Amino acid sequence: MGEVKVSVERSVATMTVSRPEKLNAFDIDMLKALAGACDEVEANASVRVAILTGEGKAFSAGGDVKAWGGMAANEFGHAWVRFGHRVFERLATLRMPVIAALNGHALGGGLELAAAADIRIAESQIRIGLPETSLGMVPGWSGTQRLTKRFGAQIVRRMVLGGEMFSAEEARGHGLVDAVVETGTVLAAARDYAARIAARGPAALEIAKLMIASANGEDNGSAVEALGSILVAKTGDLKEGVAAFAGKRAAEFKGEW
């Protein structure tokens, strides 16, 4: 049975997908474990950056075919695809920047997992791709949606329609990963980059991440509402409104920011 391990050192959390005997492929329990890990990291006020990686020789082989292969169509669409989509969205919308440390191949749902991160660093030996159509299915955890927004439609067409697989260097050339490092060094590289991020203002990082997501058409408006709520929460008008409610009186707003 797999799990997602969480460790925190100073201001950096590391989430490790741990099902190495299955190349870190996801089943329902693993999806639940990832959701729980996201909640744990989000709730830790000391965490400014998160690193996501895999245990063993793979980052993630995606969805475990044995986990979904026998599902009825309705169950597959709801209990598998929609649930996995919600979990990956949870990862993508963590308040802090997320670095995917690709220690091994990232295929199908594994690439969709990596795409939910803000920065991707890959070891030189890895390969990435979206092979779902070779099984008669389509990417279901935002492979045609988030990946198209972040990397462009044409490169997604080549992976999904043409079944092209890319080396780490090819992926870097297409913007699918941000840096390529030697085998066995990706966690060290990710930690170095995490330290670089953690040295910056945490509030500014969180707000900038929301702004970028909004500009990229992600989050369906939740980024805009979160930004507005953060701004309003600091105003004198809100304090007056809450005080008036508690005192059962009419609020006297002064337009105080």
Q: Any idea which residues carry the catalytic annotation? A: 112, 132
| Burial of 155: CB neighbours in 10 Å, binned 0-12, 13-18, 19+ | middle
129 within 8 A of 170, measured Cβ to Cβ? no
d(CA 211, CA 53): 26
Residues 6+ apart with CB under 8 A from 257: 234, 235, 236, 237
Strands, E, within 127-227: which ranges?
A: 127-129, 166-167, 179-181
142 within 8 A of 113, measured Cβ to Cβ? no
127 within 8 A of 167, measured Cβ to Cβ? yes
For residue 182, the surrounding DSSP H or E stretch is: none
- Coil, strand or helix at 56: coil
- Coil, strand or helix at 134: helix
